[in-house]
Amino acid sequence: MTAASPDPPEVRRDLPQPGLAFSLRNLLSMGGGREDMLTPLQQLFDRHGPVVAQGFGGFKMVNLFGPDANRAVLLDRDQIFSSKRPWDLIMGRIFPGGLLLRDGLEHKHHRRIMHSAFKRPALRSYADRMGHMIGERLDAWPHAAGPLLAFPAFKALTLDMAAAIFVGAELGPGTQKMNQAFEDLVAASMSRVRLPLPGLEFNRGLRAREFMQGFFGDLLPKRRAGDGPDMLTRLCHAETEEGHRFSDTEVTDHMIFLMMAAHDTTTSTLTSLAYELARHPEWQERAREECLGLGSGPLDFETAGQLEQLGWILKETLRRYPPLPVIPRICTEPFEFGGFEIPAETMVVVSPIHTHHMPEWWTAPTQWNPARFAPDRAEHERHTHSWIAFGGGPHHCLGIRFAELQVKCVVHQILCRYRLSVPDGYRMPIQQAPISKPLDGLPLTVAPL
């Protein structure tokens, strides 16, 4: 007699939901989610588990927590999760046409064309161009007249590098105006009032976009006709095997988004990394010894890859301070996860910042400890999607190797010149969204070695 097959597990449709009071309290407190995204996410997970629905009127949103959720959503094996649609709602009028705001075959097509700007020959060229620029800027850092505000200092440095490497131009007096334009663009992406009215944050973002369009529009004819090593020129000439190229509008859209991503996210990471090295002098000395072992001059692409411990430090910093704390998608079809059916047309959110602080996957997750990434511990290898600082799947960050190279080149030269410190007991006040940054600029003592 054949045993009866067990009944399949029940798939529920009544999704756990925290209620309107919790959602409103979260919206009105903690900077509306900008200053502290982690705490309310942890509260949702602790109270309701890995699947939690939130809704306002007809708007449907579901938070999915944990590495399994990250893998399901980011890999998107059934191609049911749109990246374009939620990001269009958030930043579509500010960053239209960016790679993050494209789906399916269109995304794949644009990614293939852009890939040439991030291959090894291009990265070698970028490293060579960055080295001396970094040294010149760091030599000019004030280090005798009080603390250095690290965030604006890194912001100016990374913008200069982005302009030289991405655009092939020295900004000079235009640096401050460009910096303000990027601040206005990023702030507008989080605006609650999205009206083009004078004085509003969102309107400043629209004006900043017009400025950036004009800036790149003026450069395009010369870059189309040239053969320089900068990324703008590379995108002007990049093409697929079938001969497809970008239009002027597509080049401009990609460059505005790339400049923002490279400039703001690298500034965020460098600031958080410098803060933790200042708080942990033992790790600062370990990293300095490793850096000095390669010489105090600029790094090249191959040499940067030898900084193993600095690589652990970078990964741990990105674990604690992911530049993008949450990743949204909209599901185009219903799907099942964790015993629940999530209906079509729901915004589905996975959270790097929450996953990176789960004690189920990380030992003492609130502690900054780069040794967790050493080969003998390898906590990041406990699950393929427990560390997702650069996303995953088809939308995995195209510039991951460039970002790692840039951070290593900067930190190497800092540690070969200066010793970083903060006062005993100091804790950096953080705004976690839209991009992680210190609310006080991070006053940092920078002393020559």
Strand partners, 419: 447
Rounded to whole angstroms, how far apart are CA atoms 139 and 149?
15
DSSP states along 351-375: -HHHHTT-TTTSSSTTS--GGGGST
Strand partners, 348: 62, 329
Rounded to whole angstroms, how far apart are CA atoms 180 and 405?
25
Percentage of residues in the chain having pLDDT higher than 90: 59
pLDDT on residue 83 = 96
pLDDT on residue 264 = 83
26 band by pLDDT with thresholds 50, 70 and 90:
low
Work out the number of other CB atoms within 10 angstroms of the CB of residue 358: 17
Q: Which residues contact 21 (CB under 8 A, 6 or more apart)?
A: none
Rounded to whole angstroms, how far apart are CA atoms 185 and 213?
12
240: three-class secondary structure by DSSP: coil
Mean pLDDT of the chain, nearest integer: 89
Q: Which residues contact 172 (CB under 8 A, 6 or more apart)?
A: none
Structure confidence by residue, pLDDT tens digits, 324-374: 899 999 999 999 999 999 999 999 999 999 999 999 999 999 999 999 999
Residue for token pair 């690298």:
266
pLDDT of 2 > 50? The answer is no
Structure confidence by residue, pLDDT tens digits, 60-97: 899 999 999 999 999 999 999 999 999 998 888 888 98
Structure confidence by residue, pLDDT tens digits, 109-137: 999 888 888 899 999 998 988 888 899 88
pLDDT on residue 30 = 44
Task: Specify the pTM.
Answer: 0.90
The DSSP element (H or E) to which 181 belongs, if any, is: helix 175-188
CB contact at 8 A, 186 and 260: yes
Domain ranges of the chain: 20-448
Rounded to whole angstroms, how far apart are CA atoms 57 and 59?
6
247 Ramachandran zone, left/alpha/beta (phi>0; psi -120 to 50)? beta
Mapping DSSP onto H, E and C, the string for 383-440 reads CCCCCCCCCCHHHCCCCHHHHHHHHHHHHHHHHCCEEEECCCCCCCCEECCCCCEECC
pLDDT of 271 > 90? The answer is yes
Q: Which residues contact 415 (CB under 8 A, 6 or more apart)?
A: 277, 284, 287, 288, 291, 292
DSSP states along 96-112: TT-GGG--HHHHHHHHH
CATH for the 20-448 domain, from 1.10.630.10, 3.40.50.300, 3.40.50.880, 1.20.1250.20: 1.10.630.10
Residues in the chain: 449
59-64 and 347-350 beta bridge pairing: parallel
Rounded to whole angstroms, how far apart are CA atoms 281 and 260?
31
DSSP states along 256-279: HHHHHIIIIIHHHHHHHHHHHHHH
Strand partners, 329: 348
Surface-to-core class of residue 305, CB atoms within 10 Å of its CB (0-12 exposed, 13-18 middle, 19+ buried): middle
Q: Which residues contact 285 (CB under 8 A, 6 or more apart)?
A: none
pLDDT of 5 > 70? The answer is no
pLDDT of 255 > 50? The answer is yes
Work out the number of other CB atoms within 10 angstroms of the CB of residue 355: 26
Rounded to whole angstroms, how far apart are CA atoms 208 and 188?
10
- Measured N-to-C along each axis, helices 248-260 and 175-188 cross at an angle, to the nearest 10 degrees, of 90
Tokens of 168: 């092939």
CB crowding 410-427: b at 16 or more within 10 Å, else e: bbbbbbbbbbbbbeeeee
